[in-house]
Structure 1
Amino acid sequence: MTHDYKRNGTTTLFAALNVLDGQVIGQCQQRHTHAEWLKFLKKIDRETPKDKTLHLIADNYATHKHPVVQEWLAKHPRFVMHFTPTSASWLNMVERFFRDITTERLRRGVFTSVPELITAIDQYIAHHNTDPKPFIWTKSARDILQKVIRANSRLSSKQNAALH
C-alpha cells in the first residue's frame, strides 16, 4: 500500500464453488454472522437443481455451526456439511478462486465505496461463470492416498523412536 492509501470500506464474500464445472455462486454481505451465512445458504438452495445433494465444505467458524443454521440444515437434508479441521487447507480450487479474484480484479483496483467494490466482485464472478474451468487433479486418488499412508507411517515411526 502506498502512503496515501485510503480504505473506503470492506465486504465479506461468500462463495460456493461447483467442483464439477467450476461455476461460482457468490454473495457479498456486510458481516459474516449466522444470519448472513443463512442468507447465502438460501441463495445456494434457490440457484441449484432441487434434485441434487449438495456437499458444502466449510471451515470450523462458529457461524457455520450456529443453532439457527443447524435448524435450517435439518430441514434441508440435501445440504451435507463437511468441516475442515482447524488450520487445515481448504479445497485447492476454492483457494485458487480467491487468489484469482484478488490478483485479477481486486488488488490493483480503486474502489471509492463498498457498493463499487461489490459491483466489481459481482462482475468478476459473472465473467468467471461464462467459461468456468473445473479443478483437475494431476494425481490419482490412489497415488494421493499412498502418499498419505507413507507420511503417516514415517510420522508414527519417528514418534515411536522419540518415545524410546
Structure 2
Amino acid sequence: LKDATRPSRVKPLPSEKIKQVVHMTLHGKPPNATHWSVRSMAKAVGISYSSVQRIWHAHGLKPHLVDTFKVSRDKNFAAKVEDVVGLYLNPPDKALVLCVDEKSQIQALDRTQPGLPMKKGRAGTMTHDYKRNGTTTLFAALNMLDGKIIGTCMPRHRHREFLRFLKLIDHQTPPGLDLHLVVDNYASHKTPAVKRWLKAHPRFHLHFTPTSASWLNMV
C-alpha cells in the first residue's frame, strides 16, 4: 500500500491553464478537426493530456459527444400533445390505444450458410457474409394496455399497405372496442382512400402527433 502521508507527485495546475482549457473547450474548435481531443487540447495549451482529462472530468465536459434535437413548428403542437398524452394517461372506456408506425427500407438479409446452435462452451455461429433479399417495411401497432404488438412486413410503404394493416388490426382486436390509433403525419395516413375506409369503420380513430415529434409515439 502507498504511504498516505507522502505528498502527491501530481503538481496542481495554474488556474489560468484550467480556465484556458475550459474556455477553449466551450467556445473554440481545433483548426483541423471537428472537436477537441485530449491530445490536441494538451498540445494547444502546453500541458499533459492527463491534465486535460482531469479538467474535463472535473467540469463535466465531453467534447466527443453531441446530442441532437428537433423543435416542432406545428401550430397546434400543444393541443396535439395534450390529445396523445391524454390517451396514454386516461384512455377512453371500452377502447384500446394503439401506437402505430412503419419502419421502411429494412434490409432483408440472409446468411450464405446455416449456422450452428449455441451449446455449452461455444456461442452460436453464423457466417460473416450474407446475401441480399431486397428491402421490406415493418408495420407495427403497440397495445398500450399490455405491451403486445400487432405486426407484419410488406414490400412497400403506401396507403394501400397502410389499409391492409388497418384491416389486420381490425381482425386481431375485439370487435366491441373502439380503437384509438396514434400515428405520425406521413402522407399515406391521410389519403382519400384511407379517409373513406375510416368513415366506413367508425370504431377507428386516428390521433396525429405534432410534426417533428415522433418521440410522442411510443412504438
- TM normalised by structure 1 equals 0.52
Aligned partner of 2:159 in structure 1 is 34
2-side partners of 1:50 and 1:90: how far apart? Answer: 29
- Could you say which residue in structure 2 is the equivalent of 1:162? none
The equivalent of 2:205 in structure 1 is: 80
Q: Displacement of 1:28 after TM fit? A: 0.6
Greater share of residues in helix: 1
Distance 1:37 1:25, change over 3 A: same
Q: Secondary structure at the match of 1:10?
A: strand
Provide the secondary structure at the position in 2 that maps to 1:77. coil
Q: CA deviation at 1:27?
A: 1.2
Residue 6 of structure 1: CA displacement?
Answer: 5.7
**Candidates 178, 184, 194, aligned match of 1:53:** 178
- In structure 1, the partner of 2:5 is none
More contact order relative to length (CA 8 Å, sep ≥ 6): 1
Distance 1:86 1:80 in 2: 19
TM superposition shift of 1:66:
0.7
Residue 127 of structure 1 is matched in structure 2 by: none
Larger Rg: 2
The alignment partner of 1:11 has SS state of strand
Name the counterpart of 1:150: none
The letter of the residue matching 1:80 is: H
Q: Does the C-alpha gap of structure 1 residues 92 and 66 become closer, same or farther in structure 2, counting only changes over 3 Å?
A: closer
- Give 1:12's match in structure 2, choosing from 137, 150, 159: 137
Rounded to whole Å, the distance in 1 between the matches of 2:199 and 2:150 is 22
CA RMSD across the alignment:
1.6
How far off is 1:71 after superposition?
A: 0.1
Structure with the bigger percentage of strand: 2
- The Cα shift of 1:62 comes to 0.6
Q: CA deviation at 1:9?
A: 1.4
Deviation at 1:89, TM superposition (A): 2.6
Q: What is the percent sequence identity of the aligned residues? A: 69
TM-score under structure 2 normalisation? 0.39
CA offset digits 1:15-36 (Å, max 9, x no partner): 0110010011001111110110
Give the secondary-structure state (helix, strand or coil) at the position aligned to 1:93.
coil
Give the number of aligned pairs: 91
The match for 1:108 is none
CA-CA distance at 1:5 after TM superposition: 6.9
Change (3 A) 1:35 1:92: closer
CA distance in 1, matches of 2:131, 2:162: 29
Aligned partners of 2:182 and 2:217 also within 8 Å: no
Deviations 1:6-53 (A, max 9, x none): 643110011011001001100111111011000000000001001111
Cα pair 2:184 2:214 within 8 Å, conserved = no
Partner of residue 160, structure 1: none
Structure 1: how far apart are the matches of 2:188 and 2:217?
22
CA distance in 1, matches of 2:207, 2:199: 14
